[in-house]
Amino acid sequence: MANTNGISLGRVTVQLLSGRAIGHVLLLVNSVVLARALGVDGFGEYAYATGFAALLALVPNLGVTAVITRAVARGDETGGGVVRAGLLIQIGLAVFVVAAAPFCAAWLPEQPVPLTYVILAAAQLAVGSLSWPYLAVLSGRARFDLVAKSEVLAVGVATACLVGAVALHRDVPTVLAVQVVAALAAVLIARRVAGPLIPRGGGRPSWRAVMQQAMPFGAATAVQGLYTKVDLMLLGQMVGAAIVGLYSAAYKPVTLAVYFGGTVAGALFPLMARPFQQAPAAFSRTVRGLLAAAPAMALLLTGCAGPLLRVLYGPEFRAAVPMAMVLAWSAAANWLYAPFSVALQAGRREREWLAALVGALVLNVVGNLWAIPRWGGVGAAGVTVISELALLGSVLVLASRAGNGLVPEVRQWMVGLSAAAVGAITLWWLQPYGEIPATGGALAVYTGLLLWFRSITIEDATAVAGWVRQAVAGEARG
């Protein structure tokens, strides 16, 4: 990948991926600990409370962090002032979230969990959001290695707190209260790491000026948050907490996969925020890599959904397997549109990205209202896949209108999607021979087709290996 201010973007991206892999493994451990300690019903109550709180993320996610990242990446003279203003705005938004949570929850017709659970979950979100401006500074500096360091330390503290909580009291309110403490620790860690890299000087812009820049980002983030969480809320309202627990368990491996693709694409933001006439080579290489990797990831999660959920959550969660198999393909679509969404937002086309998200959200809500009463969690999973595919199509149309080579040629898409279809057919055909052999056979066929049509090459593998060696060799310069 390209160099950004003397920092190898490929190297720090690999470091960020490594750090987030560790962090996500710990998050998965946390999920398993919670599921086994709380049981299906308790885990469902926890998932509903945190899912409802996540809907309130539209408030602290008003786009301030994106403004900070872009200002720092561009080297704006007002960068330091933007950071200071952003911190004050974030504090105000966090206070509002905690105050508004119980009123919003009480407004709903059904109350599947006590309001205390919702308040604690909202407090965790609000406190944790205070670390976002500091992480935005690190992202603007392209110091994704330090972002990874901060996140791993924070998740490590959260895991230790969680294990201690369930050892003492296996109940939902204790778990949520401890997670508020862990969120405060995450803020302190991020502040410590980012402090030396915060730009100095520069007049502080008015809150109004920052919010005017932030609103398109914030609206897009809010719609995306609703888009990814509305299915949990509708399931809780229409079929009960037990199905929410199963759906949440099915979604957890898929969510981790989505974060991985988002991490790769998100690292492009500082690069894509700068003017360019033709798509940077790093962007094109990332798109090609995700186009090859996304179907492989979906085939792996689909084929191994049964063993994975049995090992992680136990036999009582076996009803979640069909949901996980369907949801895996929503993660693949997410990987495919992630770099284009980053390019649109970094290139000041965030309003177009917002319009695409609104369309996907409307489709998601309408589809879930129709599908959930008929097929429950599997119906919600199917609607998620359809919505993600519609969003992918919209984003590709928007990116192609720029006329600067962001979208790969049609042949690459045809080869990738055809190979994915053949791989899925192979997976289904080999099912009688067992889940693991079927998955291995499907991946072998898929990879062989990509190599045959040269969608992936030895040079690509060599480049990735080089970034890994650089990441292992030491910390990024900067």
Query: Which pTM does this prediction carry?
Result: 0.73
Give me the pLDDT at residue 478, please: 36
Average pLDDT per 10 consecutive residues for the chain, totaling 478 residues: 55 75 80 83 84 77 82 73 88 89 80 85 91 90 86 90 84 89 94 88 74 80 75 85 87 83 83 78 86 95 93 87 96 95 85 91 95 93 96 94 82 92 96 94 94 77 59 45
In a 13 Å sphere around the CA of 239, the CA atoms on its Cβ side amount to 24
Q: Where are the domains of the chain?
A: 3-473
How far, in Å, CA of 393 to CA of 389, rounded?
A: 6
> Tokens 């369309």 identify what position?
359
Q: Do you know the residue count of the chain?
A: 478
Query: Rg of the chain's alpha carbons, rounded to an integer?
Result: 22
- pLDDT number for residue 474: 47
3, containing H or E segment:
strand 3-4
Of the candidates 213, 215, 194, 115, the one whose C-alpha atom is nearest the C-alpha of residue 150 is 194
Other CB atoms within a 10 A radius of the CB of residue 440 amount to 18
Q: Which residues are within 8 A (CB) of 420 and not within 5 positions of it... i.e. 6 or more apart?
A: 295, 298, 299, 332, 446
pLDDT value at residue 461:
65
User: What integer pLDDT is reported at residue 341 of this predicted model?
Assistant: 92
Residue 25, pLDDT score: 80
Number of neighbours of residue 423 by Cβ within 10 angstroms: 27
Predicted pLDDT of residue 475: 43
